[in-house]
Amino acid sequence: MTGIQFITDAKGRKTAAVIDLKKHSALWEDIQDVLVSRSRRLEKRIPLDKVKSRLIASGKLRD
């Protein structure tokens, strides 16, 4: 894949990547989404109906 370079350690194992963000901005956005998702996996979840009712009550969403 062009626009991506890998950095390897002394044993030839890939340890990092350099990504050309002009060529692969969508790929970088996907990586960021995964990282955000993983960082939030233990957060308390709020049911969708509760979120909707709060948004309606605050005037940010119409019923």
Q: Which amino acid is at 9?
A: D
List the chain domain ranges.
4-57
Q: How confident is the model at residue 49 (pLDDT cuts 50, 70, 90)?
A: very high
Of the CA atoms within 13 Å of residue 28, those in its CB half-sphere come to 11
Q: Which amino acid is at 26?
A: A
Segment 32-42 shows an average pLDDT of 96
- Answer yes or no: is pLDDT of 63 > 90: no
The reported pLDDT for the residue numbered 18 is: 94
Handedness of CA 38, 41, 47, 53 (dihedral sign): negative
Backbone angles phi, psi at 45, to 5 degrees: -95, 150
The reported pLDDT for the residue numbered 1 is: 78
> How big is the chain by its Cα radius of gyration, in Å?
20
The CA distance from 13 to 7, in Å, is 8
pTM given for the model = 0.52
